[in-house]
Structures are given as structure tokens and as C-alpha cells.
Chains A and B, each alone.
Chain A
Amino acid sequence: NAGVTQTPKFQVLKTGQSMTLQCAQDMNHNSMYWYRQDPGMGLRLIYYSASEGTTDKGEVPNGYNVSRLNKREFSLRLESAAPSQTSVYFCASRLQSRNYGYTFGSGTRLTVV
């Protein structure tokens, strides 16, 4: 099993450019999440999808949009990248939206210059 797969692993963007981070899971999980991790900080939730067809804002949604394409795929889009969005982005999934542990991907390291 591949688990949670994120692409790309690294990306450098110029301020104002757009891009989409891709995430796919093969564990038949219902819930998927996007987190960002900054140095010295814990992970902060950007958006999540409790089940296919639903999406909700997390703690830090500004500047991002998401799409739950199907049960397997959950993408994160930066419409106009800013240096403050330089971070490591993690996608995660779990069987249900509460009371289960996450399975995380290996992350996307994004630098906005």
C-alpha cells in the first residue's frame, strides 16, 4: 500500500504565481486534511473534507482553496502565492472524521520568493 501520496515533493514559486498540490490515498478513508508546518510550530489545519462531497475551513484557510475530487483525491490550491505561504504542507487521511489517527503523506516543501 502506498498510503498517502503527495505531489510534488518540492516547489519554488514566485510571488503571485498559482499552483495546486495533489494528494491521493489508497486506504479507502473517508476523511482527508491539509496541514501546514512552519519551523518551531505545530501543524495547523488549513482545510479538511470529512467525507466525499464536503469541505470545511480549518484554522488557517486564508489564501487557499481545496477540491475533494473523489474519495481518493484532495487537492490544495494557492491562487496567488505569497512569501507567508512558504511552508511544508502535509496531506493526511483517516477512516472517519473523529476519533481515529491520521495517516500523513511525506509532505511538499514549498518556497515562495
Chain B
Amino acid sequence: LAKTTQPISMDSYEGQEVNITCSHNNIATNDYITWYQQFPSQGPRFIIQGYKTKVTNEVASLFIPADRKSSTLSLPRVSLSDTAVYYCLVEPTGGSYIPTFGRGTSLIVHP
């Protein structure tokens, strides 16, 4: 199983860029990386997914270095509504399916 490690918490201020890094040293060749956002009393919500290099969508960017042993979720210009827990997920694309979620990073955005 891939093991994922994330910071437990982070603080930021409105308008700043936030980068959350997930370490996954034993990621397998065909594993994909996905990030989710979770608000209290809700299920996680998909943010972005990637395999290597950089992926960008309307809400975030995902940076994955060449060795793929880590990934960084980048949230540009955060607002108070971005206060949530963020999870990275490493999941296999072949073989038996045992996905590995990180334990989550609690992001608090201050005014």
C-alpha cells in the first residue's frame, strides 16, 4: 500500500496562495493522485487529479515532480470559504484496488 503523509494543519489569510504537500514515497508506477476537500458534516468533494507534472483547473493546481514521491495542491487567493480539510489520495490503476487516503490537512483561512 502507498503510504501518504500530510501536515495536520495550516493557517493562511484571505487572498494568499496556499500550498499543501502530500508525501507518498512508495507510490507505484501507475498510481494516480487525487485531492479532495471536506467541510464539516459533508462528504469529501473532488478538487483535482493528476499523474505527473502539472494539472490546473478552475479552482486549483496540482504539481507533481518527476519522481512522483510527493504532490502539492495549490489554492490561489484563498477566501474564508476555503476553510476545510484537504485530503490527498493515492490510488492504483491496476491490480487489486486498495486506495490510500492521507489523514487530511485542516486549513484555516483568517480574515
Contact = CB atoms under 8 A, between A and B. Distances in A.
Interface stretch (A14-22, A64-72, A95-103): A95-103
Contacts of A45: 97-99
A95 to B, nearest CB: 12
A102 B46 CA distance: 6
A21 B42 CA distance: 17
Contact of A107 (B41, B98, B100): B41
Contact of B93 (A90, A98, A107): A98
Contacts, number: 52
Contacts of B45: 104
Nearest to A6: B43
A40 interface: yes
* B contact face: mostly helix, strand, loop, or mixed: loop
Contacts of A98: 32, 91, 93, 97
A53 interface: no
B71 interface: no
Contacts of B41: 106-107
Given A44-B101, A45-B99, A101 B49 contact: yes
A105 B43 contact: yes
Interface residues of A, number: 24
B52 interface: no
A12 interface: no
A9 to B, nearest CB: 9
B100 to A, nearest CB: 7
A42 B101 contact: yes
Contacts of A101: 34, 46, 49
Interface string A53-75: 00010110000000000000000
Interface of A: 4, 40-45, 48, 50, 56, 58-59, 90, 92, 97-99, 101-107
23 contacts: A40-B103, A42-B4, A42-B100, A42-B103, A42-B104, A43-B44, A43-B101, A44-B101, A45-B97, A45-B99, A59-B1, A90-B43, A92-B43, A98-B32, A98-B91, A98-B97, A99-B93, A101-B34, A102-B46, A103-B46, A105-B43, A106-B43, A107-B42
